[in-house]
Amino acid sequence: MKKHKALKTIGCILAVIIVFFTVINIIPPRKNLESNPFLLKEGQQTMIAAHRGGSLNNPENTLLAFDKAVREVGVDIIESDLYLTKDGYLVYNHDEYIDTTCNVNGDVSLEQVEALCEDESRRHYIEDMTLAELREYNFGYYFEDENGERICKDVADPEGAGLRIATADQLFEMFYETHPDLKCIVEIKDGGERGIKACRVLYETLEKYPRYKQQIVIGTFHDEIEIELKTHYPDLLRGAPTGTAAKFVLTQYLGVNLFDNGDFACLQIPLSYDIGVEVPLDQMTLVKRAHRRNIAVQYWTINDADDMRMLIDMGVDCIMTDDPKLLKEILNTYA
């Protein structure tokens, strides 16, 4: 008799759990935002985001790379990172120092520069340099084409070739009239007071290009910058910080997505997380659950053709790639 009651109790508990999970997955989740320009529209192909402007095709983060990615390849999105200079300008660069992308150390090999940069005190940091100082250098100096040739090393006019360091407003101005639908993914790399100032400078720059204000999504690894964006610039779209993205993924996998309270516009994730064991993120259910909340799903950094096809077939909104030419060729086979 006691055994029967125990089994009945366990059965009731299991039934309650089943009902609970069924109900919370039936209830429509709240939308993070009503309209999201980074979500695919009906019949639209996966968007191409040129990571660093397409660093396998052209010198990364230069106006040359941005121009060719947009006008020749036809990318939908430019992706890059922003740093604040000593005199308050926002410039595009992946690292906080410039040694590995330009000739600030003179005519030395990249291997020599990398060895030099192991000593952090010998690096040339953006925060210590003015825009005028940064613009003295050729930022295509170490770029190698598909044949391994450094085709920009001896360019006589780096300014005319679009190989000087690029500022945020230069990119916006370059395409504002001709490509009004161009989108941007940017990461504010500075933290603390510099990062807070970078937010203000970016916002003030965008006010000169109002159409782009709703076509840019901003990310950061710094909690204080995330708070700054949410508090003082709520009209700007934000990407999910790493911890927020991980929480979202976890709640989706556990089927308790109603308990995620993230308010971001774009879920920017790799194909997997390594947390001691590899957690795959290339899951159709993850994309569908994000879309129920009007969250765009953007995968980085995808340079393999098979991975590109897999993500396209999953219906992801955007693929960030160093090789936008390859992704464009693949997308053309779907047309």
DSSP state of 40: P
In a domain, 127, yes or no: no
Give the model's pLDDT for residue 259: 62
Looking at the domain assignment, is residue 136 inside a domain?
no
Contact 105, 113 (CB under 8 A): yes
> Could you give the CA distance from residue 27 to residue 31 in angstroms, rounded to a whole number?
12
Q: How confident is the model at residue 20 (pLDDT cuts 50, 70, 90)?
A: very low
**Mean pLDDT of all residues belonging to the chain:** 91
What single-letter amino acid sits at 285?
T
d(CA 85, CA 101): 16
Mean pLDDT computed over 16-39: 62
Residue 314, domain member (yes or no): yes
Token pair for 197:
């100032």
- Residue 24's pLDDT is 44
Residue 234 falls within a domain, yes or no? Answer: yes
201 pLDDT exceeds 70?
yes
- In whole angstroms, what is the distance from residue 282 CA to residue 310 CA? 9
pLDDT the model gives residue 18: 44
Task: Tell me if 161 sits within 8 A of 140, measured CB to CB.
Answer: yes
Gap between the Cα atoms of 48 and 317, Å rounded: 9
Distance CA 64, CA 50 (A): 13
User: What's the pLDDT tens digit per position in 166-198?
Assistant: 999 999 999 999 999 999 999 999 999 999 999
Q: What is the pLDDT of residues 86-100, one digit of tens each?
A: 999 999 999 999 999
Per-residue model confidence (pLDDT) at position 278: 86
Q: Assess contact for 266 and 217: CB atoms under 8 A.
A: yes
Q: Tell me whether residue 157 is in a domain.
A: no
Domain containing 214 — which CATH number? 3.20.20.190
pLDDT of 136-169, one tens digit each? 999 999 999 999 999 999 999 999 999 999 999 9
Spatial CA neighbour of 207 closest among 132, 199, 182: 199
Overall average pLDDT of the 27-38 stretch: 75
CA separation for the pair 62, 258 (Å, rounded): 42
Q: What is the pTM of this model?
A: 0.90
Check residue 16 and give its pLDDT.
42
Does residue 24 lie in a domain region? no
Element (H, E) at 266: strand 266-269
Which DSSP string do the residues of 186-205 spell out, in sequence order? EEE---HHHHHHHHHHHHHH
Report residue 241's pLDDT band, with 50, 70 and 90 as the boundaries: confident
- Number of structural domains (the chain) is 1
Q: Indicate whether 19 pLDDT > 60.
A: no
For residue 329, the tally of other CB atoms under 10 A from its CB is 13
Domain that holds residue 275: 36-95+165-332
Q: Quote the pLDDT of residue 33.
A: 78
Categorize the per-residue pLDDT at 247 as very low, low, confident or very high, splitting at 50, 70 and 90.
confident
